[in-house]
Structure 1
Amino acid sequence: MQSLKHQITVLVVASTLILAVSIMVAIGMQIKDTAVLACITKAKSDLSTGEALINFKYPGPWREEDGFLYKGNIRINNNNEIVDYISSLTGNTSTIFLGKTRVATTVKKENGERAVGTHASEEVAKKVLTEGKEYLGEAEVVGQRYQTAYKPLLDQNGNIIGMFYVGISKKFYDTLFVDSLTRMALIGIALTIMVFFGAIYFTKRVITEPLKLLTEETQKFTKGDFCSLYYPTKIDSNNEIGELARSIKEMGEWVQALNYQINKATQINAPVAKQIASGADSSFLEEECSNCIKRNVNREKQWGELSKGLNEVTLNQILNYMKEKDCSLSASEIARAVKLTKVTVRRYLDFMERCGKVNVDMQYGPVGRPLKLYRLDIEQ
């Protein structure tokens, strides 16, 4: 059978792992969305930067002439100077299209050559060339996926004659995503480890150690060692375990007191037992029963209802000892004699004091708190 400590450890580990995985999945999804948004935002910003550089370097309107694209008086076809410059500033790929055909680009084919003469995807061409809108988002560029930004190029009459593009390679996006996820994973792992050890420490301190202590004390209790019932001072909590400790303590004190009274009754009633063994008539037994009932009635009249947590057996145990000594006694002396805790004895003495059954004297020493001495009031 697995111990409670192992079961709680397994529960804590499983809960921590589930929580960590759930958080990592949620963070991963958020990082992915954030990385995509960051790439698109950068592409759009670089698109505006590139357009401003083109207008600054090559003033004049865009125009198409004899199948070539011009900016002002400069022919753009195979003029890769401007796209290279834009790429060097932004770190992105850059392309200028005539229609949907690349005429100047930094994008390269698999063989390493510039992808001049290749075409944009139909999805992009439809959005930009047909509808005249910007295209922002992932798109296929010469067989690879990029986070892209496209905008139409207009001639002086407002006709769409081409496109300008900047794009961030999916490799860059993947690197950004992986790096961000790795950092968050490391932070998540560190927090998970902290939560795990914190939970283990809390469980050990609040649950397993108090239960272990209770088990050790109750094992002593089952062997008749009632003097070991001091653990409530070690388990000072208001939760269920603390309540269990206090209940076991009260039960132990009650059993201890009952054991004391049984031993006492065995000695006191030895003559009665002898009379029974010798075959005494029933009148003797009836008289003893009557005396017992009278003693119980007198006790009810004398003490009234006991306070919560007190029991008659323990009260009689303390009372009988004080009768035997017939002198002023401290709570510590009584506790040692009747084998109860000092705290328990003081509760009963306080009750007897409220009932007016004991007299209390204060003994003052040279230093420290005064000592309370209790003496049974014989007149009561």
Structure 2
Amino acid sequence: MKALTWHGKGDIRCESVPDPAIREGRDAIIKVTACAICGSDLHLYDGVMPAMHSGDIVGHETMGEVVEIGKDNRKLKVGDRVVVPFTISCGECFFCRNGFYSGCERTNPDAAAAAKLWGQSPAGLFGYSHLLGGYAGGQAEYLRVPYADVGPIKIESGLSDEQVLFLSDIFPTGYMAAEFCDIKGGETIAIWGCGPVGQMAIRSAFLLGAARVLAVDRVPERLALAREAGAVTIDFSEEEVSERIRDLTKGRGADACIDAVGTEPDIGSGIDTVVDRAKMAVLLGTDRPHVLRQAIQCCRNFGIVSIVGVYGGVLDNVPMGSAINRGLTFKMAQTPVQRYLPHLLQRIENGDIDPSFVITHRARLEDGPTLYKKFRDKEDGCIKVVMKP
């Protein structure tokens, strides 16, 4: 089969690889009908995430048709149309039973290595390094899905692939980011990053009752899409973000702030970013938390900082004194996707939201390497790429 594979920093290739096969009784094999490039895939492209091996198949936003099932899988049948969550979860351990599927204790075969870095291991993920299981990803013609009686959700309505594909990751992630903000109605929510997850967070915040969303970015196409949703936009290349948010909130700060950017912010040349980059260059730091620092400073007293941007390791110079003295609450997670799927699928079926609004580029797998670069460099108005093998 054809698949997109990682061969080092800036080197994604479309090449022939062996077809996947059933390994365990609860497995399923799906023929991929749609897959997407996620913003977090760019961390792989840029060589930020450790433990990638040359030839690893990438991708974790995938859906398709079941073509084979293991002998113990009682949930699916050949021909079912499914969306596959990026988190791989057993459904039986302590965390799965409590709805924290992304903390599954059983699905990361490389848990010991992850625990050395993070203290404990999260669940295994598709196509996202050998720290998280070394599972083949879904930017391919076929995908093996472990524990397929727990993860995938069946699509039994007439919704198109493009309407439901993002249930695999960015819609639940953006929705969770907004849910973390404990929106009761009437709040002002500030969101850093108007990429795909940020766009979903903007619309989710409004769905949950926010009165106003302040969207921070500098890419014109992203800011325009945020304005279409009703957000007040702040171009950080033209105005000072903290001052603008203070002005918009009469000095109080936003009720909650969402970091939808993570470790590789596009944030210009402020003194803190110069220091971050210098430390990364000499291996004294692993992440650049400029956005997180700004979100903390812009949040009102006793507000909430919601973090869904991907960080890989250690953060430096985070203003914990500000957070503690002003009573901030931090909420963050790799999204336990399965927890959100039934509700969010119902939202789509009800017409509350059509996640396909974010797609700007449609392509074949063969176009994937070029589109990785285009997405990373924000060329040609590229916000979200969907590929159809």
Q: Do they superpose with TM above 0.5?
A: no
Larger helix fraction of residues? 1
Larger strand fraction of residues? 2
Whose relative contact order is higher, 1 or 2, with alpha carbons under 8 Å and at least 6 apart? 2
Q: What's the TM-score, normalizing by structure 1? A: 0.21
